[in-house]
Structure formats: C-alpha cells, structure tokens
C-alpha cells in the first residue's frame, strides 16, 4: 500500500482537518497513523483504493511537486488533495465567490468578471455552488479559460448535481475539480466552511460578488485576509440586503471594483490581457486599434472609417468585435481604447 492509500483511509476515518492535524503531529507518516488508530476506526484501505480508482481521482500530497504552491503557504494547508482533471499552472489565479441565492444581476456580474479574467489568462477559482460560484465557472468556461472548483465533499460525487455538466466542461478545458476529502465523502455543512480556506488559498486574490450579511463568501474573505490575499468587492444597491456583507467588507478596507479590468489593473496584469487579445487581431482590427491609440480620444464609426479608410460597415463590425475582446470601450456610440 502507498502513503496515498493510507492517507485516504485515515482522512475518511478522521472526517475533519483538525483530527487529521492531530494525527499528523503524533505520527511520522500516514501508514503509522493508520496503524495507530483503533481497528474499528481505521477505515478500509482496500475500499479507499477502490474509491480512488472508481472516481478517476488522483491524490496529490503536500510533498508532491504538483501541489499548488500558493496553497502550501496558507495556515493549515491540506495534507493532501483529491484531484479530477489538471491543476492549471498559471502566474495568477483569482477566486470569485458569492451567494447561492444570486440575483440575475449578481450572476451576470460574476460571469462577466470571470470571463474577463479568463481572457487575461487568469485561472478562476470558485466552489461550484449554485448562484455566484456556478456563474463564475460558467463565465470562465465560455471563454475557454481554466478554472478550479473546490468541493466540500468528495470528487466522486459532484455536489450539487445540477452542476455535473459544468464540472465536466471544467475538466475538458484543462481545469480541475478538487477536494481535501476522500472521493465518497459527504458534503456536511461544516465542510463548506472548512473548504473556504482552500478556495482562497489557491488564489492570489478573492472577489466577492453579492454577499448578504450571513453569506459563506464572507468566510472565504476572512480566510483570504488571514492568508494575506487581496480582497475585492463588487458593490450593489446600498439598501439591498443582498449586499449587506459586501458593504461591510468595503468598510473594513476591501477594494471596490466594477469589472475584471479593475481587478487586473490593481493586480498589475491589465497589460497582459490587452497583449494577449491584440495577438489575435486581424489586419482591419489592428488598423482601428492604431488609429484609436494615435487619436487619444473617443471617435465614432464615421471618424474611425475616415481615419482608417475602411468601409463604415466593416468598421462597425470590427469595432463590435474589439468591444467583446475587451480592448475597446463603447461610450455611447463613441469608442476608445480600454
């Protein structure tokens, strides 16, 4: 038996990080911890091995090179994580979280922010929950980006089941589903709070979208503060109870942001997004970008057509694409570089 199998059996028996930590302090390896448990509490190593194979997961121990470096740095890092898919390696990762009972506007903001981050090559981290989490993953997936979903139960049974298809899409696009719990572990309420430290721990910054006063997203923000991560908050209507927790975070010093561009700028990577997008421009789009850059102020379609000597219909089509790429901003029918 390998250490990964012994760890899986012990993790299943311990049921919480605190119990695992106590065993890790007492024993030098997970085989010793397994053998040191009373026989009736040990769990079954054969069943643990079968669960891993059945789920298709692999066990990434804290000592492995694949273990995320940011996660290794937090207080109380998982001793091991169970992974479906590929743990993306990127210079930047940002967590986007919020309420399960999201409004249509909150979900839209989460999708837009995650999409903008994905276009910049940023890995989006969230919890696969209904509401804001699912919207963030979906926004990233829509752009072909890589995202990590952190579960409060085992990866062998995706929760909630409504997001099973989304989980498959995450994996297909080079992302990952991860958990610190064995593949068949149930998502107990306490585990949602426990996993929040992993959601923030995998990211350099956390974005809170639509958090009521008692939102679990505030727990993630608390862990982020403890871990020294940046905390960004998307504001909403001042009197809305949906944003009571969000405004409390802003009062406590979190940064107010309205878009992915705000986040990228504050993190010093806004230029990377534009550079990546500009590499994909066709000749007409590149000409429009050059004109707007040289002009240094807004211009309407006719003015851009005059300066580029392109047909106005071509300009209108290409400018619309540039707006979608996030490199040109539409200011009421007049356009400028973002």
Backbone torsions φ then ψ of 96, nearest 5 degrees: -125, 115
* Residues contacting residue 130 through CB under 8 Å, at least 6 positions apart: 100, 102, 160, 162, 163
CATH code of the domain occupying 93-269: 3.40.50.450
What fold, for 280-337?
Arc Repressor Mutant, subunit A (1.10.10)
Say what the pTM is: 0.80
Amino acid 59: pLDDT = 97
Burial of 9 (0-12, 13-18, 19+ CB in 10 A): buried
Per-residue pLDDT tens, the chain, 338 aa: give them: 799 999 999 999 987 899 999 999 999 999 999 999 998 888 889 999 999 999 999 999 999 999 999 999 999 999 999 999 999 876 689 999 999 999 999 999 999 999 999 988 899 999 999 999 999 999 999 999 999 999 999 999 999 999 999 999 999 999 999 999 999 999 998 899 999 999 999 999 999 999 999 889 999 999 999 999 999 999 999 889 999 999 999 999 999 999 999 999 999 875 444 555 566 688 999 899 888 888 778 899 999 999 999 999 999 989 988 887 777 888 878 888 87
The residue extents of the domains of the chain are 1-46, 93-269, 280-337
């Amino acid at each position: 038996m390998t250490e990964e199998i012994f760890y899986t059996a012990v993790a299943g028996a311990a049921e919480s990080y605190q119990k695992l930590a106590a065993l890790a302090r007492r024993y030098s390896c997970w085989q010793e911890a397994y053998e040191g448990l009373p026989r009736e509490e040990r769990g079954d190593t054969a069943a643990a091995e079968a669960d891993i194979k059945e789920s298709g997961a692999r066990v990434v121990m804290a000592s492995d090179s694949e273990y995320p470096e940011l996660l290794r740095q937090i207080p109380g890092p998982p001793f091991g994580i169970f992974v479906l898919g590929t743990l993306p390696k990127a210079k930047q990762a940002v967590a986007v979280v919020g309420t399960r009972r999201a409004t249509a506007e909150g979900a839209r903001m989460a999708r837009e922010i995650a999409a903008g981050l994905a276009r910049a090559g940023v890995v989006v981290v969230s919890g696969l929950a209904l509401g804001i989490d699912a919207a963030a993953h979906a926004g990233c997936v829509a752009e072909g980006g890589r995202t990590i979903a952190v579960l409060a139960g085992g990866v062998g049974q995706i929760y909630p089941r409504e997001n099973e298809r989304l989980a498959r899409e995450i994996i297909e696009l080079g992302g990952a589903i991860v958990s610190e719990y064995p593949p068949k572990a149930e998502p107990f309420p306490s585990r949602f709070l426990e996993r929040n430290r992993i959601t923030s721990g995998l990211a350099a910054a956390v974005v809170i979208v639509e958090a009521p006063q008692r939102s679990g997203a505030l727990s993630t923000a608390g862990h982020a503060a403890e871990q020294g991560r940046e905390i960004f908050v998307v504001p909403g209507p001042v009197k809305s109870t949906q944003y009571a927790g969000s405004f409390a975070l802003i009062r406590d010093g979190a940064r107010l942001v309205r878009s992915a561009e705000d986040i990228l700028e504050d993190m010093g990577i806004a230029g990377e997004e534009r550079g990546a997008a500009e590499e994909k421009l066709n000749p007409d789009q590149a000409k429009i970008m050059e004109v707007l850059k040289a002009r240094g102020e807004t211009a309407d379609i006719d003015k851009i057509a005059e300066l580029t000597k392109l047909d106005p219909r071509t300009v209108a089509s290409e400018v619309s694409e540039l707006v979608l790429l996030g490199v040109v901003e539409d200011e009421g029918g007049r356009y400028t570089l973002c």
